[in-house]
């Protein structure tokens, strides 16, 4: 068997710089042992782990593709967009990324203030610690959100279950709800990634179930669809392969590895992408740069 057939890529992984449990170096080491020779670190709204991953990758013989997973708001759901080959050290990119993150943190503080005003004693530190306990990550503020607040409300016995927190207090239009500040829509995310030299890919569409948005994102420059994902069964894979062909999108994939973590079984390498996909992405990147 050709040794090249035993080498693969994993284009969706997380580290302690968002909600994973591996350091970037640990992730690279683990990936290398699984036959992964091309790896993208795609932390949520954070690029702070990429440099360490690149250094570790150089030592381990693993090519690191600078990546990110942007959390966006779409109607009543959250939709994630992956960015690859981004100019992650660009000062304007970092400034805008920090702006998005700080807006989410401020929104959380405002919802907590509303709850306090309603007579419920909750602190921001409690919600931050809940996010930390869930993720094990170091940069938990990058992905702090209403589910963490809901869990604190259960612990505080304000509500009996998380769903009730949304239904009574923090769901859309409820008394302690605060609109997303500086909303990042899926289309915004695609444009943002392209603006800073990257390729935009819609993450795990089977988890979101918002297939109608794919065509709209293609108009904005979406180049790929994450068809192969640890949460996609054979039926989902077949479905999204067909959609990718329909829109002429590159079929990408990844494990969505978060490291050894309760209730998060996927490890790096559980989805092994052929290296030919990487070549297609690089060709698309070159084509984009020629068209600029």
pLDDT, one tens digit per residue, over 117-166 is 999 999 999 988 887 765 555 555 656 778 789 989 999 999 999 889 98
Q: Which CATH architecture has domain 3-96+183-291?
A: Alpha-Beta Barrel (3.20)
Instruction: List helix spans (H) across the chain.
Output: 24-33, 50-60, 91-117, 124-135, 146-155, 162-165, 186-195, 205-208, 212-220, 234-247, 275-291
| Predicted TM-score (pTM) of this structure | 0.84
Report residue 72 CA to chain centroid gap: 9
CATH of 104-170, one of 2.60.120, 1.10.3300, 1.10.150, 3.40.10: 1.10.150
Domain ranges for the chain: 3-96+183-291, 104-170
* For range 31-58, the mean pLDDT: 95
pLDDT digits (tens, 9 = 90+) for 58-117: 999 999 999 999 988 877 677 899 999 999 999 999 999 888 888 878 989 999 999 999
Domains 3-96+183-291 and 104-170 share a fold: no
Is pLDDT of 261 > 60?
yes
pLDDT at 1: 40
Choose from 12-16, 86-90, 171-175 the range with maximum mean pLDDT: 86-90
Is pLDDT of 51 > 70?
yes
201-220 exposure pattern, b = at least 16 Cβ within 10 A, e = fewer: bbbbbbbbebeebbeebbeb
CB 11 within 8 A of CB 42: yes
124 DSSP assignment: H
The set of residues, in sequence order, having a beta carbon less than 8 Å from that of 262 and lying 6+ positions away, is: none
């Amino acid at each position: 068997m050709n040794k090249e057939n035993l080498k693969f890529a994993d284009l969706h992984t997380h580290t302690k710089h968002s909600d994973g449990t591996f350091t970037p170096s640990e992730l690279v080491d683990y990936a290398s042992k699984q036959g992964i020779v091309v790896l993208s670190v795609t932390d949520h709204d954070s690029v702070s782990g990429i440099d360490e991953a690149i250094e570790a990758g150089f030592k381990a013989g693993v090519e690191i593709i600078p990546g990110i997973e942007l959390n966006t708001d779409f109607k009543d759901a959250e939709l994630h967009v992956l960015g690859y080959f981004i100019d992650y050290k660009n000062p304007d990119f970092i400034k805008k990324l920090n702006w998005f993150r700080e807006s989410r943190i401020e929104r959380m503080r405002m919802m907590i203030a509303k709850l306090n005003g309603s007579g419920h004693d909750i602190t921001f530190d409690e919600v931050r610690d809940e996010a930390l306990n869930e993720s094990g990550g170091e940069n938990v503020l990058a992905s702090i959100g209403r589910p963490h607040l809901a869990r604190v409300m259960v612990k505080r016995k304000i509500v009996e279950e998380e769903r009730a927190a949304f239904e009574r207090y923090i769901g859309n239009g409820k008394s302690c709800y605060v609109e997303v500040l500086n909303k990042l829509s899926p289309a915004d995310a695609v444009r943002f990634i392209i603006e800073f030299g990257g390729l935009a890919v819609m993450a795990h569409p089977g988890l979101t179930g918002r297939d109608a948005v794919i065509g709209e994102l293609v108009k904005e420059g979406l180049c790929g669809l994450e068809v192969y994902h640890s949460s996609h069964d054979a039926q989902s894979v077949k479905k999204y392969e067909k959609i990718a062909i329909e829109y002429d999108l590159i079929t990408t994939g990844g494990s969505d590895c978060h490291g050894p973590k309760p209730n998060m079984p996927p490890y790096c390498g559980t989805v092994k992408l052929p290296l030919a996909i990487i070549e297609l992405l690089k060709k698309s990147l070159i084509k984009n740069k020629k068209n600029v």
